[in-house]
């Protein structure tokens, strides 16, 4: 590899030399594209991700009427937590693999990278899925004091199986995206995370709804099937964890990744509790919840990834409202309008797209993204100063905060709309 005047941190270089047995520093060429090129790449990928989220939102609008969602409302609590796995795992995976791509590891050690990272995300996904289900059971049981073992088994089995299968499929897709983007000379920082999101929401929600519905049919007749699913999932955790720990590419991520992932799950579960409350009061909120959360999460993930890259390459970004921040904020308005009118055209969501609705909804969306980008700047800079790698730790926190802020602000927006009388007959009771 050629010499470069812009190096990563010393720890990165040490790891690079350990893995590649090369005494030369990597030739990293991040951040060289123009604002126009970066803007086009990001906006196109955001549109793809957005339409994937619109599809997931339409699906949520349908499945919320399924018996399992009506009878076991705690399933709603699982939705943000499991959909947030793409931020906790797949987006972080994309950030790691982008670095490996620029270091040349995809060409020299693709097989080891694939095995190690798939085992890592599988281990994390199953454990987080189980913890998310426990949080959902607790949040559903504490208010009423009514514990149902069949409901608890259904939530655990649905969450574990959904998290496991979705993370495996999405992990393979992310690896393919990184490899292809490297070959066609596109910066993975700009496109990988939104592409993960475009398929992640729809895949995860479809799996959760389907699996929960199948298990719901066995409630009261058998506990064997959900118990088997939980036991198999529990056995996968140590096996996949051991493989990831033995892999030189994923050992560090396995050591450092648990606190951000678990913390993000807790934050997302609080968002799920808010969603459970708001959906019961405002039926029209479900179709917009995934869109506002998804777009906010995608934008802050790209922002954090690019800012982390700038720090690694020696370009210290000190301005909170940077060029990237302005570019991302500008994308909120056309992006959200496209998705709002798409939902309106498809007559989904139980809500008419009126001027006052657009004004209040857009205000919530802009505030959410502005807060997330500001938090992203300070969080990434703080992690860097503390000697932590933001690529491994920042995105889970930020996407989970995106879920929490998006769900809360959307709930406030619908409450305002209801209070001023701008509602449909089925917006709320």
Where are the domains positioned within the chain? 10-20+32-419
Confidence band for 372, pLDDT divided at 50, 70 and 90: very high
Burial of 200 (0-12, 13-18, 19+ CB in 10 A): buried
- Cα separation, 206 vs 275, whole angstroms: 18
pLDDT at 343: 76
User: How many CB atoms sit inside 10 A of residue 160's CB?
Assistant: 28
Phi, psi of 103 (to 5 degrees): -85, -5
Written as one string, the DSSP assignment of 37-49 is HHHHHHHHHHHHH
Closest CA to 172 of 194, 191, 200: 200
Over residues 325-331, the mean pLDDT reads 84
Residue at token pair 């570019």: 327
Burial of 73 (0-12, 13-18, 19+ CB in 10 A): middle
pLDDT at 119: 93
H-type alpha helices, 75-223: 75-83, 85, 91-103, 105-144, 149-183, 188-216
Confidence band for 317, pLDDT divided at 50, 70 and 90: low
pLDDT at 22: 42
Over residues 23-49, the mean pLDDT reads 63
Burial of 366 (0-12, 13-18, 19+ CB in 10 A): middle
Which two three-digit tokens encode residue 54?
């619109």
Residue at token pair 């620029």: 102
- Cα separation, 151 vs 159, whole angstroms: 12
Confidence band for 427, pLDDT divided at 50, 70 and 90: very low
H-type alpha helices, 282-389: 285-312, 323-345, 355-385
CA gyration radius, the chain:
21
Which two three-digit tokens encode residue 257?
């990744």
- Cα separation, 180 vs 205, whole angstroms: 26
Instruction: Evaluate whether 201 touches 56 at the Cβ level (below 8 Å).
Output: yes
Distances (CA, A) of 263 to 58, 198, 202, 240, 399: 29, 24, 24, 21, 11
pLDDT at 18: 43
Lowest mean pLDDT across 134-143, 213-222, 376-385? 134-143
Which two three-digit tokens encode residue 83?
């959909």
HSE value, Cβ hemisphere, 13 Å, CA-based, for 69: 21
Which two three-digit tokens encode residue 214?
């199948």
Q: What is the pLDDT of residues 133-154, one digit of tens each?
A: 887 787 767 666 666 777 888 8
Residues present in the chain in total:
429
Give CA angle at 266 (53, 390), nearest 5°. 75
In this model, does residue 415 exceed pLDDT 60?
yes
Q: What is the pLDDT of residues 45-88, one digit of tens each?
A: 778 777 777 787 778 878 888 888 888 877 877 877 787 666 57
Over residues 245-258, the mean pLDDT reads 82
pLDDT at 19: 45
Buried b (16+ CB within 10 A) or exposed e, 1-35: eeeeeebbeeebeebbeebbeeeebbebebbebee
Instruction: Evaluate whether 369 touches 337 at the Cβ level (below 8 Å).
Output: no
Q: Is the pTM of this model over 0.85?
A: no
Q: Which residues pair with 428 in a beta bridge?
A: 282
Written as one string, the DSSP assignment of 207-241 is HHHHHHHHHHTTTTT-SHHHHHHHHHHHHHHHHHH
- Cα separation, 266 vs 258, whole angstroms: 12
């Amino acid at each position: 590899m050629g010499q470069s005047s812009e190096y990563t941190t010393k720890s990165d270089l040490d790891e690079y030399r350990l893995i590649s047995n090369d005494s030369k520093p990597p030739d990293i060429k991040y951040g060289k594209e123009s604002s126009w090129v970066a803007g086009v790449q990001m906006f196109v990928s955001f549109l793809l991700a957005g339409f994937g989220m619109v599809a997931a939102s339409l699906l949520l609008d349908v499945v919320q009427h399924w018996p399992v969602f009506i009878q076991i409302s705690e399933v709603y609590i699982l939705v943000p937590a499991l959909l947030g796995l793409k931020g906790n795992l797949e987006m972080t995976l994309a950030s790691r693999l982008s670095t490996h791509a620029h270091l040349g590891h995809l060409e020299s050690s693709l097989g080891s990278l694939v095995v190690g990272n798939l085992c890592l995300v599988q281990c994390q996904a199953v454990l987080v899925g189980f913890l998310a289900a426990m949080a959902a059971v607790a949040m559903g049981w504490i208010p009423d004091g009514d514990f149902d073992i069949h409901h608890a088994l259904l939530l655990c089995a649905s969450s574990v199986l959904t998290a496991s299968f979705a993370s495996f499929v999405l992990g393979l897709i992310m690896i393919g995206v990184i490899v292809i983007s490297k070959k066609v000379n596109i910066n993975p920082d700009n496109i990988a995370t939104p592409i993960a999101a475009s398929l992640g929401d729809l895949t995860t929600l479809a799996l959760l709804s389907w699996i929960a519905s199948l298990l719901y049919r066995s409630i009261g007749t058998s506990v064997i099937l959900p118990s088997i699913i939980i036991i198999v999932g529990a056995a996968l955790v140590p096996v996949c964890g051991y493989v990831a720990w033995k892999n030189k590419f994923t050992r560090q991520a396995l050591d450092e990744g648990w606190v951000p992932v678990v913390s993000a799950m807790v934050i997302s579960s609080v968002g799920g509790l808010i969603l459970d409350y708001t959906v019961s009061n405002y039926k029209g909120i479900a179709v917009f919840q995934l869109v506002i959360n998804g777009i906010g999460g995608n934008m802050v993930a790209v922002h954090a990834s690019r800012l982390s890259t700038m720090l690694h390459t020696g370009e210290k970004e000190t301005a909170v409202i940077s060029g990237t921040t302005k570019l991302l904020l500008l994308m909120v308005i056309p992006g959200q309008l496209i998705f709002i009118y798409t939902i309106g055209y498809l007559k989904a969501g139980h809500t008419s797209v009126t001027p006052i609705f657009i004004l209040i909804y857009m205000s919530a969306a802009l505030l959410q993204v502005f807060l997330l980008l500001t938090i992203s700047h300070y969080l990434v800079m703080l992690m860097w100063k503390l000697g932590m790698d933001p690529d491994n730790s920042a995105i889970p926190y930020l996407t989970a905060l995106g879920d929490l802020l998006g769900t809360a602000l959307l709930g406030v927006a619908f409450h305002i709309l209801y209070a001023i009388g701008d509602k449909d007959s089925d917006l709320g009771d």
